[in-house]
Structure 1
Amino acid sequence: MAEITHRTIEVNGLNMHVAEAGSGPLVVLLHGFPECWYSWRHQLTALAEAGFHAVAPDQRGYARTGGPQRVAEYSILHLVGDVVALIAALGEERAVVVGHDWGAPVAWHTAQFRPDLVRGVVGLSVHPRPRTSRPPVAVMREQFGEGFYMVAFQEPKRPEAAFERDVADTFRRTLYALSGDAPGMLPVVPEGGSFLDVCPAPERLPGWLTEDDIAVYAAEFAASGFTGPLNWYRNLDRNWELTAAWHRAPITPPALYIAGERDMVLAGPGVKERLSRLREFVPDLRDIVLLPGCGHWTQQERPREVNEALLAFLRGL
C-alpha cells in the first residue's frame, strides 16, 4: 500500500498541513465538516497506487492547519484562494479538485471561479447549486425555522462549546447519526440545545468506522477546536454578497457528482429536481453516481465504490 506522508506548506499566510501520497497528475481532496485530511485515508492510497499525486489538506480553520480569529476571513473567496495557492505551492499549473460536504462547494466554486486551473471537479454529497436570489440564512430560517442547524450555527460560542465538551463523543455521534447505518435524523436543534442532541450515540459502531478512527479525529481537533470550522457557516450570507459577479455563471470543467442515497442532503426540498437539471448549470457533467444504502460520509462509508468512480472519471479526462 502506498505510504501517506505529512508536511506543512505556506499557503495564503497559513501553515497548511497536508497529507499526501503518490506522484503524477495532482488531485486535491477537500474535506467537509467536521472532518480533516483523515476522511480521505482510503482515497489517498488508492489514487497514489493508480499513478496520481493525491493531496488532502486540513483546510482553513481545521485541525493541524488552524486559522485566523476573524470570522470574515473564512469566506468562500478565502477558501477558494487557499486551493489556488496550494496548487501553485505544489508546483502545478492545474489539478483535479475533489470535495466532500463543505469541501464540495469549495471545489465547485474553484472550478467556477478559476476553470483555467481545474482539469476536472468532483463533488461528494453536496451538489452545485446556482446562487439564490436572496441571502441564504433568511431563506433557511423561513423554510426550516430558527433551530435548523445552519441557522443555529450562526450564534457565536454556543455551538463550539457543545462540540468541544467531549470531542470523541462528538465524532462518535455525528459520524454515526449522519451515516447510512443510522435511522435518519432531522437536523433541527431543540431550543436551548445543541446539534449533538439530535445525534444519537450508537449502540455499536458501523463496520466502516472504528474507535481508532474516532480517536484520530479527536486528537486532530484537540488543539484547534471547532470555532474555525463553524466560521465557514457564519459566512453564508457574506458569501452570497461576494459571489454576485458569478450569479448564474456555469461550472465548465468536466465534472462528477457522487452521493449516498441515504444522505440527508438528498432529502432536502427540491434536491431531486435540481439533480435532474444539473447539466443546465454544469454542462460537462460526466455522471451522477448514487450509492444505495450510503449516508453522508460518502468516501468513508463506501471507499471501494467511490475510488472506482473517481478513477474512472480521472482516466477519462
Structure 2
Amino acid sequence: MTEHLTIPTPAGPFDAIADGPADGRPVLLLHGFPEAGIAWEHQVAVLGARGFRAVAPDQRGYSPGVRPERAAEYGVTELVGDVLAIADELGWSRFDLVGHDWGGAVAWWTAAEHPGRLTTLTVVSTPHPGALAHALRTDQDQQLRSGYLTEWRQTSTERRMLANDADALRRMFEWRVPPSRVDEYVRRLSEPGALTAALNWYRAGRPGGEIGKVDVPTLYVWSTEDVAFGSTAALDTENWVTGAYSFQMLEDVTHWIPEEVPDVLTALLVDHLR
C-alpha cells in the first residue's frame, strides 16, 4: 500500500511516496521536470509488492518545504546533496538509484561522485552529462533539441507556461501521460513560487567541475521519439560507463517513459535490480 512520507533533512522536509517493507532493499526514484514523485507511482507499487523499499520524493523546489528562492540554490551540488541527505535520513548506507529527465541527470552525478553509496544505477531518457555535453558541441540535431534551455531561463517563462489554463505546460506531455496526472502536475506547479522553483533547476548555471565516468552497474533506457535527447548522446553514453552496462532502446515511445509505458520500464528495472 503506497504511503505518503515527510522526510526531514537539513535543507527542509521532502514529501515522498513509498511502498514495501521497511527492511526491504532500498530504491530511491528521482522525478524530472515538470513532474513530481507520483510519476513513479506504478514503479513504487510494483517494487514494494516485490519486497523492495521504494521511495520517490518530490525533489528540491517541488516539495513546498524545500523551496529556496535563489536560483543558485538549485545547482548540481545541492541536488546531489539532497539525494544523500534523504538516503541518510532513511538510514540507507547503500541504495539503488533510479532517475528520469532531470532526476536522471542528478542520478548520473550522484553515481559519478559517490559510487560507494550506490548498489546499481538506472537512468531513463537522460544521457550521461558528458555524452550530452559532447553532443551539444558537435551535433546539430542535439543543439536544436536543446534550444528550449535558453528560452526557459527567461523570466517570462512562468507566465507563458501557465497562460490559458497552463496550455503550454500541458502540451509538453504530448498526450502520453494520463490527463488526471497532468492535471495534478499543473495544480502543483500553479501554486505560488512552485513553477519558478522548478525552472530554477535550469537557471542555476552549469556545474562547477567536469563529471567523470561511472563504474556503478548501470541500466540506461532511451526512447526513439524523445524530443529532448537525440541518438548521438544516447549511443555515446556507454563510453561514459566503466561498470556493467545495459542499454535499452524503446521504439515509438516519447520522453515520458515511466508513465507512457510503465509496465515495460518496470520490467526492465526489476530485471536490472535482480
TM superposition score normalised by structure 1: 0.77
Determine whether 1:59 maps to 2:22: no
> Contact 2:228 / 2:255 at 8 angstroms: preserved in 1?
yes
Indicate which of 196, 199, 207 corresponds to 1:227.
196
Offset at residue 213 of structure 1 (A): 1.8
- Give the share of equivalent positions with the same residue, in percent: 31
Offset at residue 113 of structure 1 (A): 0.7
Unaligned runs of 5+ in 1: 177-204
More helix by share: 2
Indicate which of 185, 198, 201 corresponds to 1:217.
185
Deviations 1:51-85 (A, max 9, x none): 11111111001154441001110000000000000
Q: Which moved more, 1:11-20 or 1:305-314?
A: 11-20
Indicate which of 241, 245, 248 corresponds to 1:286.
245
How many pairs align?
268
Partner amino acid, structure 2, of 1:263? D
Task: Name 2:171's counterpart in structure 1.
Answer: 173
TM superposition score normalised by structure 2: 0.89
Partner amino acid, structure 2, of 1:243? G
Going from structure 1 to structure 2, the CA distance change for 1:82 and 1:166 (only over 3 Å counts) comes to farther
SS of alignment partner, residue 99 of structure 1: strand
Deviations 1:194-225 (A, max 9, x none): xxxxxxxxxxx55xx33322222223223242
Task: Name 1:71's counterpart in structure 2.
Answer: 71
Going from structure 1 to structure 2, the CA distance change for 1:55 and 1:76 (only over 3 Å counts) comes to same
Deviations 1:116-151 (A, max 9, x none): 1111111100111328889x79x99x9449x92101
Unaligned runs of 5+ in 2: none
Task: Name 1:183's counterpart in structure 2.
Answer: none
Partner amino acid, structure 2, of 1:128? H
Task: Name 1:310's counterpart in structure 2.
Answer: 269
1:1-80 equivalence runs, <5 A? 3-23=1-21, 24-80=24-80
Going from structure 1 to structure 2, the CA distance change for 1:174 and 1:92 (only over 3 Å counts) comes to same
> Contact 1:48 / 1:54 at 8 angstroms: preserved in 2?
yes
> Contact 1:74 / 1:231 at 8 angstroms: preserved in 2?
yes
Offset at residue 265 of structure 1 (A): 3.6
Deviations 1:260-302 (A, max 9, x none): 121124436x335514xx1x32112431111111110011111
Q: How large is the Cα RMSD of the aligned pairs?
A: 2.6
Going from structure 1 to structure 2, the CA distance change for 1:291 and 1:233 (only over 3 Å counts) comes to same
Task: Name 2:116's counterpart in structure 1.
Answer: 116
> Contact 1:12 / 1:81 at 8 angstroms: preserved in 2?
no
Higher Rg:
1
> Contact 2:127 / 2:229 at 8 angstroms: preserved in 1?
no
